[in-house]
Structure formats: C-alpha cells, structure tokens
Amino acid sequence: MSVIHLHPNDQVAVATRDLQPGETIGNDRIALAVSDQIPTGHKLAVTPIAAESPILKFGQTIGYATRAIHPGQWVHTHNVTAGELHLEHEFCSAIPAAPTPVMGRTFQGYHRANGKVATRNYIGIISTVNCSATTSKYISQNFPSELLADYPNIDGVVALMHKGGCAMQYGGADHRQLTRTLAGCARHPNIAAYIVVGLGCETAQASFLMENEGLVQLGTPSRSPTRAPLVLTIQDEGGVKKTVARATAAIKELLPEVAELKRTPAPVSEIMLGLECGGSDGNSGVTANPALGVCADLLVAHGATAVLSETPEIYGGEHLLTRRAKSPAVARKLMERVQWWLDHTAKFGERLDINPSVGNKQGGLTTIYEKSLGAIAKGGTTALNAVYEYAETITERGFVFMDTPGYDPASVTGLVAGGANVVVFTTGRGSCFGCKPVPTIKVTSNTRLYERMIDDMDFDAGRILTGESLQQVGKELFEEVIAVASGQQTKSEAQGIGDEEFCPWTWGPVT
C-alpha cells in the first residue's frame, strides 16, 4: 500500500512511503496523481477540500483548510489551521459491552506482603527535595552491578531524585501532589524496600510525607510489612558524607532480605499497564497506537488494568471517551480535567492546542486534534471505568484514565506512582526512554525507525504498513508485555536508562 485511507468520509490519506510528484497511487477506495512531495506519515488530499472547510481523518475533524486543497496535494501546516472545534460531549451514549473474560493466563512476578504483584525488585531511595538529590545519587552509586552480582534477584538500587520539594506552599495543592507522587513510588510493588533522604529545612518535609501517607515498608518473607522505613536528613546526620555512609550501611543490611524474593506465577490480571506515546509521527495513530489498543483490550479481557494519560493530548478527541464512560460521573470528571487544563494554560496566555511539537510536525502531525485522535487509540475499545488525578492510587480495573501533562517523563512518573508496573511507550520519531523502577517497552510506528534505532526500540508495529494484521501485531505486543512483566529485559533497561527520568509534575508557582 502506498497510502492508507482510514475512514470512508476522510478527505485525506496517509502516505506509507515517500511519494514523489507525478506518480499515480491508489488502493481499493482511491486512485489519483500525486502533486507534491509527500513524506512518509504525512497526508495528501484524496478529494477536493474547500477553503475554511473541516478536514476529516479517522472520520473526525482534525482542522480546517486555510485555502482550497486539490486531490494529490500535500495537507499540512502550510494549508491547515487547528481552528476551534464545536464538539458534542455525549455522556455514556456508546458504552461498549464488556469483553469476554479470559481466565488462567499467568506471568512470573514477585508477590508482596500486601497482596500486590511486582514486575521488578528494586531498593529505592526517596529524595524529598532537590537539595538531597545529589546525596541520594551518591548512595545509589555505592551499589554498582558488580556489587549486586551476588543478589541476582535484585534489579538495583534506584535513587528517585527530582528538581522540586521547596519554594511551594506548605500543605498546598502542589505540595500534596508531590507528597502523593513520592508516596506512590515508595509503596510501589516494584520497590521492595526503601529509605527516605531529605535535607532538613525544605517545605517537603519527610515527616509530612510519612505522617500524611502512613508509609511503611512493604515487607518480605522474613520481615513484618508494618515496620517504618529509615528516614535520614542531611542536616541532622551532620552532612552529605555521613548521610551517605549511614544510608549505604542500611541498604547493605537490606540486600539479603530483598534477595529472598523469587518470581512465582501470578494472574495476568495483576498487570497494570501505563499507556504512553512520545515523539509521535503521522503513522503513530495508524500502527503503534491502535496496536497498543488491541493489547490493552486483551489485558482488560484478562481482568488487568490499562491506563491512558496525557490530558492535553486527548484534547479534541475527549468526546470519544465521554461516550465510552461507564457512568455520567466518570464522563464529568474527565471533562473537569480538560477544563482545568484550558483554564490553566489561559492563565499564562497560552492555548491547549500549542501541540504538536516540532518533531511531531516533521513526522506528519498537523494539529493537536489529529495527534489526540491518534493517541486515544492506545486505550483500545472498552468502557472507560474511572478517571484519576495525577499520581492518585489506581484501584479500578479495566480501562481507566489518569490526568497527566503531555511531557513524557512527568506523565510516566504519575502513572508509576499510581501503580503501573509495566509501561508501553509508542513513538514515531524515536524517544529513548526508561523510568525505573518500572520497565518501559518502546514500540515504533514505522520499520525504518525500528531498524535505525534497534538498540533502543523493543517492538516494530510498522509492519502494519506493509500489510500485517493490526490484530495480530496487537496480540504479539500483548505477549511482549507478559514476557517483560515476567523479567525479560527491555532495551532501555539493558542500557541502564531510567535513573534520570523520575519527574514529579509540579504546576504551582515557585516562590
């Protein structure tokens, strides 16, 4: 196929390869002569498009023509504007039937004392503030892979460092959100044990974190799950060097205990999959994202959880999700989060449609509406069961949504804090991403990217462009998720990527 025409009503098709002026292309729906050079993943008109009229892709409006566009011409930022959509936000008008349950499938996971199941086995260092980040890093650097060679069941000691933690209102919304994020990561099933490291005078006090979140160690077979973790402040310990020494000694004592844990069979229903896309291109919404949607549907059928995110990147397509909401309350909460973002960006004189990024546009995405419609495909086709605020603990199974920014490190950090124990990250441009303590599977939208960045990319969904079945590729991705959840190492893990990507979202003023 030279082009893919996604919906009978679409006036555009997507190029599956670079098209040259003068060549004739077509499929069972269209046949036309190409007028312009059309890069892979970009759009060309297949019917006449009048100036100021809406342009349809996926059967939905992705923008408006700024001038008349003729069949065979390139359709992109030079002749398209986002304009203003007038969407009908119907609530619960198209709730899908529940998928047929699938029972009995398992993966190899670590069972925690609180009943959760982990996909990795880390010791964590929770840094309360940027002022303790370097100290936390120094502690983790005392545990290189060669030192841990005697403990093959331990994936590492990871320092969860960040740039915030002070100059915010004590007890305010931003402080509470940071506290929720740190606590979510501390109690994440992939963190077998942890210590907390602060400076001592910061706003994000360790005592506030411990008291408001009731944090305890998860526990292992040889220890009670109710003991308190070690909390250190640099000022009380007498400086960085002394803090590093005490924390290092404490972690060395934890190593044998954490190493006791072994992988044993767990139901696939214990997988919580974070759905993320970044560095998208025009093929992301055609291949990688809908293939991930198939995978998400399969997980939901197995009783598992799939979590869509990035509120600014569902903008223009949120009406499709409100129709799938299982209740009006769920639909209303989604719309409240979209409205919050509209108000939030307006305070800074900006708009929510400032996306796509430079790289997105180079890859063929023209407006935020087009990007959002493709991104939503990651969520599959099942009912939307719940909407969560950033880093809120996810308790509902099935397909759910978390309010996060579109900035990938911050978004994935929220998903991990909410409980995601595997992340699938689709990309069309080549985002090199990992986020310890959770494995990240990178899925490419085109084969050329997969082959060029083979050391970083785990799975090629670009095969769909050459005729492979979307359903089959989605099923293969489902199997990849189970394999990674069972311990198969991802490309980012193999390269040690993920120590710097912990990025709690803070949206309030820095004073």
Q: Is there a single domain that holds both residue 248 and residue 138?
A: yes
- Residue 47: the pLDDT is 96
Q: Is 483 exposed, middle or buried (0-12, 13-18, 19+ CB in 10 A)?
A: middle
Task: For residue 279, give both structure tokens.
Answer: 């560095």
Closest C-alpha to 410, from 393, 433, 426:
433
Can you tell me whether residue 347 is helix, strand or coil? helix
Domain-located, residue 502:
no
Q: Is there a single domain that holds both residue 399 and residue 434?
A: yes
Among 237, 260, 283, the domain-final residue is 260
- Residue 353: the pLDDT is 81
- Residue 219: the pLDDT is 60
Whether the bond into 437 is cis, omega within 30 of 0: yes
Alpha carbon distance 276, 168 (integer Å): 29
Expressed as residue numbers, the domain containing 244 is: 122-260
Could you tell me the CATH number of the domain that includes residue 58?
2.30.130.110
Domain-located, residue 508:
no
Q: Is there a single domain that holds both residue 487 and residue 470?
A: yes
Alpha carbon distance 473, 287 (integer Å): 9
Domain-located, residue 112:
no
- Residue 348: the pLDDT is 92
Domain-located, residue 165:
yes
pLDDT tens digit at each of 511 positions of the chain = 799 999 999 999 999 999 999 999 977 778 899 999 999 999 999 999 999 999 999 999 999 999 999 999 999 999 999 999 989 999 999 999 999 999 999 999 999 988 999 999 999 999 999 999 999 999 999 999 899 999 999 999 999 999 999 999 999 999 999 999 999 999 999 999 999 999 999 999 999 999 999 887 766 655 655 678 999 999 999 999 999 999 999 999 999 999 999 999 999 999 999 999 999 999 999 999 999 999 999 999 999 999 999 999 999 999 999 999 999 999 999 999 999 999 999 999 998 888 899 999 999 999 999 999 999 999 999 999 999 999 999 999 999 999 999 999 999 999 999 999 999 999 999 999 999 999 999 999 999 999 999 999 999 999 999 999 999 999 999 999 999 999 999 999 999 999 999 999 999 999 9
Q: Is there a single domain that holds both residue 36 and residue 151?
A: no
Closest C-alpha to 321, from 335, 303, 339:
335
Q: Considering all CA atoms of the chain, what is the largest pairwise distance in Å, rounded to the nearest integer?
A: 76
Q: What angle do CA 173, 371, 70 make, to 5 degrees?
A: 150
Q: How many CA atoms lie within 13 A of 133 on its CB side?
A: 14
Task: For residue 105, give both structure tokens.
Answer: 């499938």
Domain-located, residue 500:
no
DSSP 288: H
The alpha carbon of residue 428 and the mean position of all alpha carbons in its chain are separated, in whole angstroms, by 15
How many structural domains are present in the chain? 3
Q: Which residue has the tokens 């085109």?
A: 446
Q: How many CA atoms lie within 13 A of 92 on its CB side?
A: 10
- Residue 198: the pLDDT is 98
Closest C-alpha to 123, from 193, 223, 209:
193
pTM (2 decimals)?
0.96
Alpha carbon distance 480, 475 (integer Å): 9
Side chain identity at 216, as an amino acid letter?
A: V
Q: Is there a single domain that holds both residue 270 and residue 396?
A: yes
Closest C-alpha to 341, from 328, 355, 352:
352
Closest C-alpha to 163, from 441, 413, 482:
413
Among 235, 260, 285, the domain-final residue is 260
Q: Going by C-beta distance under 8 Å and a sequence separation of 6 or more, which residues neighbour residue 167? A: 203, 510, 511
- Residue 215: the pLDDT is 86
Among 81, 112, 142, the domain-final residue is 81
Question: What is the dihedral sign for C-alpha 261, 264, 270, 274?
Answer: positive
Q: Is there a single domain that holds both residue 241 and residue 281?
A: no
Alpha carbon distance 126, 132 (integer Å): 9
Domain-located, residue 116:
no
DSSP H helical ranges for 214-259 = 234-237, 240-259
Domain-located, residue 96:
no
Q: Is there a single domain that holds both residue 283 and residue 300?
A: yes
Q: Tell me whether strands 106-111 and 117-118 are parallel, antiparallel or unpaired.
A: antiparallel
Q: Is there a single domain that holds both residue 168 and residue 315?
A: no
Q: How many residues does the chain have?
A: 511
Q: Is there a single domain that holds both residue 426 and residue 349?
A: yes
Domain-located, residue 110:
no
φ, ψ of residue 509 in degrees (nearest 5): -70, 145
Could you tell me the CATH number of the domain that includes residue 254?
3.40.50
Q: Is there a single domain that holds both residue 328 and residue 456?
A: yes
**Taking the CB of residue 411, how many other CB atoms lie within 10 A of it?**
30
Closest C-alpha to 464, from 479, 478, 446:
446
Q: Going by C-beta distance under 8 Å and a sequence separation of 6 or more, which residues neighbour residue 65? A: 49, 50, 51, 52, 53, 55, 79, 80
Q: Is there a single domain that holds both residue 395 and residue 466?
A: yes
Q: Is there a single domain that holds both residue 255 and residue 300?
A: no
Q: Which residue has the tokens 């077998």?
A: 192
